[in-house]
Amino acid sequence: MTDIFNNFYKGKKVLVTGHTGFKGSWLCIWLHELGAEVVGIGLAPYSERDNFVLSGIGKKMKADIRADIRDGEKMKAIFAQYQPEIVFHLAAQPLVRLSYECPVETYETNVMGTIHVMEAIRATDSVRVGVMITTDKCYDNKEQLRGYKEDDPFGGYDPYSSSKGACEVAIQSWRRSFFNPDDYGKKHHVSLASVRAGNVIGGGDWAKDRIIPDCIRALEAGKPIDIRSPKAVRPWEHVLEPLSGYMLLAQKMWEQPTGYCEGWNFGPEPDAVSTVWEVATKLVQSFGHGELKDVSDPNALHEANLLMLDINKAKSRLGWKPRLNAMQTIDLVADWYKKYRTEDVYQLCVNQIQQFLCP
Residues at the site binding ligand NAD, with contacts judged by CB under 6 A: 18-24, 42-43, 68-70, 90-94, 109, 113, 133, 135, 197, 199-200, 207
- Give min distance, CB of 189 to ligand NAD, in A: 25
Identity of the residue, 205 or 262, whose beta carbon is nearer to ligand NAD in the bound complex: 205
- Give min distance, CB of 39 to ligand NAD, in A: 13
- Give min distance, CB of 213 to ligand NAD, in A: 10
Identity of the residue, 199 or 251, whose beta carbon is nearer to ligand NAD in the bound complex: 199
Identity of the residue, 200 or 348, whose beta carbon is nearer to ligand NAD in the bound complex: 200
As a whole number of angstroms, the distance between CA 299 and CA 211 comes to 19
- Give min distance, CB of 43 to ligand NAD, in A: 3
- Give min distance, CB of 113 to ligand NAD, in A: 6
Identity of the residue, 188 or 196, whose beta carbon is nearer to ligand NAD in the bound complex: 196
All residues at 6 or more sequence positions from 219 whose CB lies less than 8 Å from its CB, including other chains: 225, 284, 287, 289, 290
Identity of the residue, 115 or 188, whose beta carbon is nearer to ligand NAD in the bound complex: 115
Identity of the residue, 22 or 188, whose beta carbon is nearer to ligand NAD in the bound complex: 22
Identity of the residue, 203 or 257, whose beta carbon is nearer to ligand NAD in the bound complex: 203
Residue 244 CA: distances (Å) to CA of 70, 95, 181, 277: 28, 23, 24, 27
Are the CB atoms for 308 and 273 separated by under 8 Å?
yes
Identity of the residue, 200 or 216, whose beta carbon is nearer to ligand NAD in the bound complex: 200
Are the CB atoms for 39 and 199 separated by under 8 Å?
no
- Give min distance, CB of 19 to ligand NAD, in A: 6
Q: How many CB atoms lie within 10 A of CB 135?
A: 26
Q: Which pairs with CB-CB distance under 8 Å and at least 24 residues apart come from 316-322?
A: 317/260, 318/245, 318/248, 318/249, 318/252, 318/260, 318/264, 319/248, 320/244, 320/245, 320/248, 320/249, 320/266, 321/269, 322/237, 322/241, 322/268, 322/269, 322/272
All residues at 6 or more sequence positions from 55 whose CB lies less than 8 Å from its CB, including other chains: 25, 29, 204, 345, 346, 349
Q: Which amino acid is at 152?
A: D
- Give min distance, CB of 175 to ligand NAD, in A: 18
- Give min distance, CB of 258 to ligand NAD, in A: 25
Q: Phi/psi of residue 346, each to 5°?
A: -60, -50
Identity of the residue, 116 or 128, whose beta carbon is nearer to ligand NAD in the bound complex: 116
- Give min distance, CB of 6 to ligand NAD, in A: 26
Q: Which amino acid is at 79?
A: F
As a whole number of angstroms, the distance between CA 338 and CA 203 comes to 10
Give the residue at shortest CB distance from ligand NAD: 21
